[in-house]
Every structure is written in structure tokens, then in C-alpha cells.
Homo-oligomer: A and B are copies of this chain.
């Protein structure tokens, strides 16, 4: 039985980790960490857990936690893990970090986009970027997994095979992303009030969102050279779900069959990536509550562009689900253990 501890268990991603781990056959949660709710019953914060979770919230003592568990999930604000992580901790437990602290290899890029001084850059090099379908083998032997962001998981998985195989001009890539509001977290902020979000839609962080360099770094590896993309996130009046619509110039005239073959090459055996049938556009509702990413594409011969579409549940494949998928890889579990949710519809 894998003993797991969660720091930041009362945020939305933390709550989703709890939901998922409760259904995992070989894992049990030993530590529900929450700085804001220390000492309170976990289910008093998340009433959906009433009579399911009996434990109280504990503090953020990662050192003590490292002595008690096999794996620590940090679902915490940027900078937290970097400020407390030590060699000793990494020697004792596996760490899956849902924050951005170890996602970006170039610390100056991190510090510029996050406006933070990185407190433990010495661990960046060894951290494995936990996009399971791409870095599966590296994850297995890691001590520290940088769990990808929600937008980035969806953006990268949707474009990766075409970039890797050189079917599109990666510098032409434009990613227009739409997210449910849970991506903004459970903090009590005016822009996230129901009446501000409901019956409304907007872009935000235009030309400056922090997930941009993360997408660029990973797709640069695929392209074999440094690339830059346009990335624009939007807030949508729904709880869960990310949809990306990506535009790229085709390097040559492609047929639907060619593109499909490339997707199949990379994802044909991937349980959690579903390349949809022709002319079926991904919808966020079709993956809600599940670890799936749904992908499809449309060739636009008129403009010489291809339109790519991807959808996932930002709290599952975009956060907690992928974190558990990484845990499974780290501990030699079946990769889909605890993650075989059928999407909830409607």
C-alpha cells in the first residue's frame, strides 16, 4: 500500500487528488495538509467527503510528512515547494509537484515569468516533467516529478505528434485555450464570483500567461529547436474542462489520412488519449471527471492551415489525475489504476 501525503489538500486540485486516491486500490492518504484549515475536519471543508473521509487537516510540515509517507503531492502556490524541498526529503520520498516550481529547466525563464526567485534551483535538473505519455520512462525512475499545468497538458498533447514529425511549422502555432473556472482555484476573489463569471466570457493574461514558456519548452524539445507560440487563455462559465483550438501552417499539403497516421503512431496505444473519428469535435463534457484527453483535427486546404482541437478535465488529466498517473509510474503500479473513470454525462 502506497502511503500518500497531500500538501494543499483543500484546494480544488487537492480535493480532486483525494477523490481519486480514495478509489485507488493500492494507495491510502495519510496526511491531508492544509495551511488554512489545520485542525478542521477535512469533510467539513469538502462536504462531498462526509462519512468518506474522517481525518482532520494537518499542517504543512513537509519534513515530518516525509517521514511518514511514500509519496508527497504538493498542490500548492508557486514557490512553496522550492522553498522547503531538501535533499533529505527527496531521499526519503517521491515528490509529485502540481505547482510550476520544477517544470521549467531554465531558471531564469521561471523567475521572469513567475516573478519569483527560485529557492532551490539545484533540483531543477533532475526533476522529470511528468507528461506521462511523452516522458513515461523517465518518470519511472524519478525522485521529483514536475506535474504539468492544465493548459499545458492539453496544449502539448494536442500538437505534439505533428510537431515531432515535422508536419507543421511550429513557429506558426497559435493556441487559443478555454478553461472552466476551477482552474482559478478556490481563493475568494471578486473576478471568480458566480455573478462575474456566469453568462460571461473573456480572455486574460493575453501574451503573458505563465503556461506559455512551459508549452514552448516542451514543444521545442519535440521540434528539435527553440520555438515560440502564441497562447491565449479564456475563462468560460463552467466548472471543469479545458478546450484548446490550435492553428498551424502545414509544411506541405497533408491528407487527413497522413495526419491520422501520425496521431496513431504516438497515441494508438495510449489509453488516456482518444483521437476522435473524423469530423467529431472534442467537447469538454465528454471527458468530465475522467483522465481522458480527446483530440481531433481538421485540415483547411483553403488557408493551408490545420486546426487541432483537444479537450480534457483540468482537475483530472490537467492536474490530480495526471499526478496519480505519475505516482503509478513511480511505484510500478498499473498506469491506469484508480483512473478508470467513465466520463460523467450530462
Contact = CB atoms under 8 A, between A and B. Distances in A.
Given A202-B281, A232-B245, A298 B207 contact: yes
B204 A194 contact: no
Nearest to A287: B48
B238 A200 contact: yes
A241 interface: yes
Contacts of A201: 178, 236, 238, 241, 243, 283-284, 311
Contact of A181 (B194, B232, B344): B194
A303 B229 contact: yes
A296 to B, nearest CB: 9
Interface string A289-328: 1100010001110110101010100000000000000000
B202 A194 contact: no
B343 A48 contact: yes
A306 B69 CA distance: 47
A197 interface: yes
A84 interface: no
A190 B28 CA distance: 29
A285 B51 contact: no
A51 B269 CA distance: 12
Contacts of A303: 207, 228-230
B238 A299 contact: no
B241 A238 contact: no
Interface in A166-202: 174, 176, 178, 180-182, 186, 188-190, 192-202
Contact of A207 (B15, B229, B288, B299): B299
Interface in A221-246: 228-230, 232, 234, 236-241, 243, 245
Contacts of A229: 303
A333 to B, nearest CB: 18
Contacts of A116: none
Interface in A64-112: none
Contacts of A118: none
Contacts of A234: 178, 243, 245
A345 B199 CA distance: 10
A282 interface: yes
Nearest to A284: B201
Contacts of A193: 181, 186, 188, 192-194
Contacts of A176: 176, 245, 247
Given A194-B197, A309-B206, A23 B346 contact: no
B307 A46 contact: no
B307 A206 contact: yes
A237 B239 contact: no
8 smallest A-B Cβ distances: which pairs?
Answer: A200-B285, A195-B346, A48-B343, A207-B300, A176-B176, A202-B283, A194-B197, A206-B298
Interface of A: 12, 15, 19, 22-23, 44, 46-52, 174, 176, 178, 180-182, 186, 188-190, 192-204, 206-207, 228-230, 232, 234, 236-241, 243, 245, 247, 274, 276-277, 280-290, 294, 298-300, 302-303, 305, 307, 309, 311, 340, 342-346
Given A48-B288, A201-B241, A206-B281, 5 more contacts: A195-B239, A198-B198, A199-B238, A207-B303, A236-B237
